[in-house]
A and B are shown apart, each in its own frame.
Chain A
Amino acid sequence: MFFHIVLERNMQLHPRHFGRNLREHIISKLMKDVEGTCSGRHGFVVAITSVENIGKGLIRDGTGFVTFPVKYQCVVFRPFKGEILEAVVSMVNKMGFFAEAGPVQIFVSNHLIPDDMEFQSGDMPNYTTSDGSVKIQKDSEVRLKIIGTRVDATEIFCIGTIKDDFLGVINDPTTI
């Protein structure tokens, strides 16, 4: 699920950036530092939309670096248990398959794949129904439901299922 929230961060800036473009420097460094990171609490930071306010800088003793408290608005993506996501399959093996929904990695184990789909090994491993009408392989798009998340301080990993109504392949790359 996506959220638009306000976060705060202390930015350390080298003295050489002090000048007319101080604000721009702070913002570009903030984007470089924050976008694409993941915190267990808020999820993945997708994009910074605006900077609300930059506080007074504090000069660090000894180094000359200055710390600015920065408040910024950003879009975060946080997967939840029970959420339905669309994801792209990144790897298929006999234990199941891995899929990616943006920055999130999701593992679907083979017993959460419908019983009528069988694993086919080969140079393009895949899961196929007995009549061959549905095939899950690398780069397939699937709709899945998250049934468990592991949230660490710096990463989020999910397991999903496609064994439910309206879940499964939504777009097969070979038919395009």
Chain B
Amino acid sequence: MGLKSNLHNLKEKYKGKKMAPAFNAIHTFLYLPNETTHNGTHIKVADDLKRTMNTVIMAMVPCLIFGMFNAGYQHHLALGTIDAAHGFLGSSFWTWDNLVIGIWKVLPLVVVSYGVGLLIEFIFAVIKGHEVEEGYLVTGMLVPLIVPVDLPLWMLAVAVAFGVVIGKEVFGGTGMNILNPALTIRAFLFFAYPTWMSGDKVWVHGAVERAGTADAISGETILGSYAQSQDVVYNYADMFFGLIPGSIGETSKLLIIFGALFLIFTKVGSWRIILSTIIGALAMGLIFNGVVDAGIITSNSKFYGLMSVPFWQHLIIGSILFGAVYMATDPVTAAQTNKGKWIYGFLIGFISIMIRVFNPAYPEGVFLAILLMNVFAPTIDHYVVQGNVKKRLKRVKVKTA
């Protein structure tokens, strides 16, 4: 008798008992259950929820693997033990040494993220007596990708607990949440432990311990350098391929684009949101470039550094692409109507760049912008639907008249 039939027997045995959801969860986690999701998010996405989730995870795996190599690469590069890799296939990037550091630092983050998150899902499933929902599978994968590599694990655990409870369970669980849980977790970390989430010390493994010693290493992100009007040492290829310091999974724009194409091709991610977010970001970037060209902001202004960045370059620095592809497209928290998606995405891009430029204390505004638009998404939908209703009523009147 295999594990599957064993689990199935357990499922039958504990049917109706209090702990049943916990057993069923293991069953559904490992194997395809006999029944598919019958309420919740799949009303909105006409697909089995689990397959949707798995597709998104598959789209993120390249980013995670790249993030592991990059964690080690940035560490060794900062120590000066290896030379800079030129280009995506640089010989000093895809090395065993880099991967070991990456696995050592990144894997625990993944484990803690999934462990704590699923534990809370289990607890709520048992208390409320419903089946465990698959919703955390994607969140659990997103979280390690959007935090700095040296984040202490207990902080991540606290934040995940907070994010899952406040961001999701209080609203009624998967499919009911207003805010994206992964971004709730990041926002909590950002405001609770700012010294671990921003600055020039947290993005490269080992920088925090060495701060203030003779071996001090620095790993300022590109956004940080621009915000302080410093020179940026990375070229465009580095930025595009992702050989730069940053949160674990968001550096490689190339892989994010592959992920985006995959999501669009499988119709899991909305191309409208991704495209409109990019348009929004470019629009805001163009406006700022115009302001600089008009001479309103000169080089002695504190906004000059980020405002003078060529508008298209905003897309390859910071996490705007990652946010647009994996965060903004979350079917639960995004706008549901097609017109609403255009407005929603455009405003995310627009506000992201605005926060990025105007608030040097938050050099990355993408997560704040997405959270803000999450809150407004139902309002946008409401007006889009009302607009449609009005238009159709008019048509009816014209016909009858």
Is B a genuine binding partner of A?
A: no
